[in-house]
Every structure is written in C-alpha cells, then in structure tokens.
Amino acid sequence: MSSAKSSAGPSAPPESAAAARKTPARRADSPMRSRAAKSSPSSIDPGSRGKILVTGAAGALSQHVIADLRERGYETVGVEFRGVADDYPDTVDYVVDFNQRPFEDVFREHDFVGIAHLGRIRFTQSTRGRRYSENVVGTTRLLRLALKYGVEKVLALSTFHVYGADARNPSLIDEEYPMRAANLMPQIVDAVELENLFNIHLYKHPELNIVILRPCVIAGPGIKNEMSRMLSQSFAPCLAGFSPLMQFIHVQDMSDAVIAAFEQNHPGVYNVAPDDYVSYQDALVMAGCRRLFLPSIPPSLARRSIRALGRLAPPDYMIDFFKYSVIIDGSLFARTFNYRPSHSLAELLGHYRSAK
Amino acid sequence: MRTRQFLKPRTVSREVDDIVNNLPMRNIGSQGYDPWGLNPDTAKITFTAVRWLYERYFRVQALGLDNVPGSGRVLIVGNHSGQLPMDGVMISFAVANRKEGARLPRSMIERWFPSVPFLGNWMNSVGGVIGDPKNCAKMLEREEALVVFPEGIRGSGKPYRLRYQLQRFGHGFMHLAMEHNTPIVPVGVVGCEETMPSLGNMKPIARMLGMPYFPLAPLVPLPARLFLNFGKPMTFVNDARNEREVEWRVEEIKDAIRDLIDVGISQRKSIF
C-alpha cells in the first residue's frame, strides 16, 4: 500500500514483486526501516486525514474501502490473515495472524486514527476452531491494541447471519432482535461471539467509537462469499418448495456505507440493507443460473444432497438460509447516516449474468 | 418465476388483473416483492381461484365493508374457524374486491406454515405473514391493514361442537392497537365453521407431521355460504395500567364480534 511503502523510505533495497510484500518478519530483518518509520514525525503525510488500519485487505470489499478512503485523503495500511490467499493484492501490506506477537509491530510502526475491521475468515474458509481463534480471539487482541495505541474509531463488519435462519423469523429484523444463530446453527457461533465482543467494548470503551455493521448479502465483482459463488455458477442448488426472500447489497454500496460510518461518528450497531427484495430462485434466474432442484424433505435427505454437491453448494449447516427468509431492516442506518445504495438489484445480478 | 410467467397469461382474467392493479402496493420493490414476500403476479393467479371461491363456491355476502378505512393502519379482528385459513382469505378478498378504497389486508398465518415446502412461499406471496408481534408492528408502521385472529389455532382447530363459541383471545393485538394508535374493525365470520366441520383432533398424526392439529374432517371444504359482517372501528387509548384493563378491552372486542356473529347467523337462511 502506498503509505506504508513510502514509510519504508527510499533506502529500501530493491525487491522482487513477491518479496515487496511487507510482513513484520521482514521488517524485523530491517530495523533501520522500522526505526525510520517510527521516528518520522510525518508517518501521517501532511494533509492526510489520518491513517486507517484495514483488515481483510485482500478481500474485494476491503479493496473498495481502501480506494475510497484514499480518495478522501486517508492513508491506509492493509492487513490480511495468513493462508487465506495464495497471492495478495497491492492493498495488503502485512500478512500476519492477529494472535501472534508481530501483529503489535503494525501498531508500533503506524499511528492509526481508525480501524476498519473487515477481515473475517469465512464460514467455508477454514475449520471451526481456526475461525474461532482468528475471528474471536484475534479480534480481542485487535481491540486491546486499539485501546493501547489510542485508536479513535473502530468499525467492525458483522453479518446478517447472526440473526440465524428460522421459519419463525419476522421480516424486517431490526438491530434489537436476538442473535439467534448461536442457538440455531452453532457452527457459525464465531460470528455471534465477534459481535458480542464488539458490543462489550462499545459500552465499556466509548472512546473507541465502535460502529458495528450487519450487512445483508454482499455481492458484486470480486466478492467470493457463499451466495456470490452460487450466483457465479452455471448451476445452483435450490431446495424444492423453498425460495426465501433475500436482500443483496453491491460491494461498492457497502464500501460507501463503511465510509459513511467512518466519516460520521454515530457509534452503535446498524443493519445495512436496501429496501428491495428478491426471492432466491428469481435471483438465480436473473443471474443466469440454472436451478438444480434438490429434495427438501425430509431434512436429512436435503442435507445429504447438499453435502453430495460439495463445493457447488453451500455448507449443509447453512441450509436454512436457503429455506427461510432473513430480511433485515436497514432503515436506522439509512436515517442516521443519510445513506442510500445506488446499485439496483437488476444491475447487481446482471453482473453475474454478463460474466457467464 | 417461470411458473408465474407461464400461468399468469393463461389464468388471470382482465377483471382480476384490474383488482390487483388497483390495490395500493407502495412497499413493493423493484423485483415485485415486498418485505413480507407479497408478489402481485402470484396474487393475481391466486385471486383467480379465490374469486371463484368467493363468488361461486362460498357465495360470500360481505356487509359493512365501508367500516374498513381505505388507507392508513388498521387491524381487522375476527373469529377464527374452519380448520383452514379460508376466513382470512375471504376477508382479504372482500376488502380488495370493493369498488372504493380497495386495499389488500394481510392475513396473519400460523408460524409453522413457512416450514412447509411450496405452501409457505405461496402463502407469503399472496399476502400471508406469520403472526409475530414484530411483523405486525412493522406493518402497522408502514400503514398496512392486517387481519388478525386472536384465537389462533384454538379457534381454527376447534371441533364442530364448539362452533361459534369464541375461544380465549390473546392480548397481543390489543397491545399493538394501543401502542400504534390503530383502530380495530371487528368482523363476525359465519359459515366457515360449516366448511370443514371437525369431529376431533388426531393428535398423533399432527405430532408426526409437525402440525398444530390434524382434524377428523372432510378432505375438501364444503360449499357453505359465508357471511362477513364488519363492525364500526373501535379505538383504544394507550393508558391501560395493568393487564386486567387490557383484558377488559379485549372483552369489548369479543362482545362486538359475538354481536356480529349473531347478525350473520340471523341473515343466514340455509347453511349450504
């Protein structure tokens, strides 16, 4: 990332493209560089609005957020977990696990005014244990460091999955609704725990000005979550007799929401979703997918057929998200931050159709 | 989507098309769905069958429809009967089918319906909404009309020997009406009890199928004549000091519904 690269100084030896990726380990090999970065009074460039740590910097959303933050005069430092990608884009400055000691070096080397915690190991990316360790325990460390180094603003990206999928869910779920996923689908308990962690800090440490965003399904170019994967395929599984209502937000609109939450200080928990809806099967048709109908009853047969499809289907413990609607009410965020998404559903799903 | 596209031009008459097109649907999004799943195209296809049931099969007579306001939030509260939610469908169609102030009141459905393949999606797409207080509150905030049966399955699943005897009313609807400053229009439904007279509840089968009840009743609804009598709107100030006071207000509604049922029974010359 440009700001971090510049902080390394012109004395940095020439490096190959791969070796140019910075890690705390490499920085330890070059103490002069880190000293120079730390001692420099201009680790925040003149005219800069401050330096922001962006986690999950290899992700499509983070890339949008980093570009938008820079456009608004912020400097950014991108951090990514180890082992989530083979090749990291330019937005990644550090590849480090939050649980490990070198992570603090990132805070020592930069004077952050804010953190955009967008990085989370996805449900399908690793084991439940690793997800818990990185997403929950790692985030505890991130928050401790944020307090220690006087960060003024922390934004956390959560997910609508925390509400859980259930036949009895009301529509337009608001922020006060219980996070039932912990009970309904224990496999994704790390998402709920992550939220609880931020909620505790939200009230215990108001100086961090924590904002938690719970977006609906994020989709669009570069997004690799479960739903985006379904929409990108030629065939996508459907459970016969179920076509839950869904909400989608374009990755650029989500980036705008993150920026709005960063620039206007209204700490709290907010759903982020457009006031527009489409059924799952309609979404598949609009995205140019052929529907592959699977038996929905008995539930054990449905799970077995989902498992048989392997990577062509979502994990079987998320099956209820493809049966029951989880419609969230994004009106509080829209009102508080004067926010309105600019991409239509047709435009968003049309992207997947045109990519086929 | 494709089923709808196939069925709509083949089944929907111009009259039904006009009925649905005239309904205010301000919460519908760009893809033809509102947040509770209502889809006007599916509603048109369904209304084709409902219209036939309303006019030809059950020969519904709806009186006092003017008491349902043409706009703004309102709760239409009635007696529940007939094993199937046919009463809710007929009340909704009666209000949607009127010449002036037509609107589509949303029926509250049992919480287990969404877990039934095809049925759950279909009920949502024609205006059914699970009877959750949060759902009702959100809908009232959006100035919708709701059909509520406070008896729930106690009313719909009761045996024929208890016909036209109101079962215990939940208080949720009264709290909603008071908190959201919403008028209540009572409605007395006569005839639904005879569409599917039940001799009893076969509990083991119901348990096995995960249903709230499984009636020992005809397999299809019988063509009984239906009478819907809508009463004057009733409003309640949100100043109840305890649940006992709420209960008295619920009793006022029950009395109004009892009176309307008596009117309906007196109007009926023959059951079929």
Phi, psi of A355 (to 5 degrees): -80, -10
Torsion sign (Cα): A232, A302, B126, B44: positive
Q: What angle in degrees, to the nearest 10, is found between the helix axes of A251-263 and A60-71?
A: 50
Half-sphere exposure of B169 (CA within 13 A, CB side): 26
Residues A171, B37: C-beta atoms closer than 8 Å = yes
ipTM: 0.85
User: pLDDT at position B1, please?
Assistant: 63
Stretch B98-108: mean pLDDT, rounded? 91
**Cα-based angle B115, B119, B124 (whole degrees, multiple of 5):** 90
Chain B: residue whose CA lies nearest to A177: B134
> Alpha helix locations (H) across A111-266?
128-131, 138-148, 181-184, 189-204, 226-232, 251-263
Q: Say if B199 falls within a structural domain.
A: yes
Task: Give the model's pLDDT for residue A49.
Answer: 81
DSSP B76-116: EEE---SSSTHHHHHHHHHHHTSSSS---PEEEE-TTGGGS
What whole-number distance in Å separates Cα of residue A56 and Cα of residue A121? 9
Do the domain assignments include residue B171? yes
Q: What is the pLDDT of residues B152-165, one digit of tens each?
A: 888 888 888 989 99
Q: Closest to A170 (Cβ–Cβ): which among B31, B116, B135?
A: B135
Domain count, chain B: 1
Output the pLDDT for position A3: 40
Token pair 């931050």 in the structure block, residue:
A337
Residue A77: phi, psi to the nearest 5? -130, 120
Give how far B208 is from chain A: nearest CA, Å. Answer: 12
- In which domain, by residue range, is B196 found? 58-267
Task: Name the residue facing A245 among B33, B117, B135 (closest C-beta).
Answer: B33
For residue B66, pLDDT over 90 is answered with: yes
User: What was the pLDDT predicted at B218?
Assistant: 84
Q: DSSP letter at B148?
A: E
Which residue, among A277, A286, A321, A340, would best test binding to B if mutated, counting the most B CBs under 10 Å from its CB?
A277
| Statement: residue B72 has pLDDT above 70 | yes
In chain A, what residues touch B112 (CB-CB under 8 Å)? 167
Q: Which residues of A touch B129 (CB under 8 A)?
A: 171
CB contacts < 8 A (A, B)? 86
Give me the residue spans of the domains in chain A. 2-220+248-276+328-343
The reported pTM is 0.86
CATH architecture, domain A2-220+248-276+328-343: 3-Layer(aba) Sandwich (3.40)
Note whether A168 contacts B132, CB cutoff 8 Å: yes
Is the pLDDT higher at B9 or at B181? B181
Q: CATH code at B154?
A: 3.40.1130
Which residue bears the tokens 């009309």?
B145
Residue B51 lies in a domain: no
- Give the per-residue pLDDT at B26: 81
Q: Do A277 and B132 touch (CB under 8 A)?
A: no
Alpha-carbon distance of A94 to A25, in angstroms, equals: 10
Position B214 scores a pLDDT of: 87
A86: exposed, middle or buried (Cβ count in 10 Å: 0-12, 13-18, 19+)? exposed
Q: Do B138 and A243 touch (CB under 8 A)?
A: no
**pLDDT by residue, tens only, chain A of 356 residues:** 334 433 333 333 444 444 455 444 444 443 334 444 444 433 445 557 889 999 999 899 999 999 999 999 999 999 988 766 667 788 888 888 888 888 999 999 999 999 999 988 776 667 777 788 888 888 999 999 999 999 999 999 999 999 999 988 999 999 999 999 988 888 888 899 999 999 999 999 999 999 999 999 999 999 988 899 999 999 999 999 999 999 999 999 999 999 999 899 999 999 999 999 999 999 999 999 999 999 998 888 989 998 998 888 888 888 999 999 999 999 999 999 999 999 999 999 999 999 98
Q: Residue B145 CB: number of other CB atoms within 10 A?
A: 25
pLDDT of residue A310: 86
- Contact: B124, A245; criterion CB under 8 Å: yes
- Pick A31 or B235 by higher pLDDT: B235
Distance from CA of A50 to the nearest CA of B (A): 40
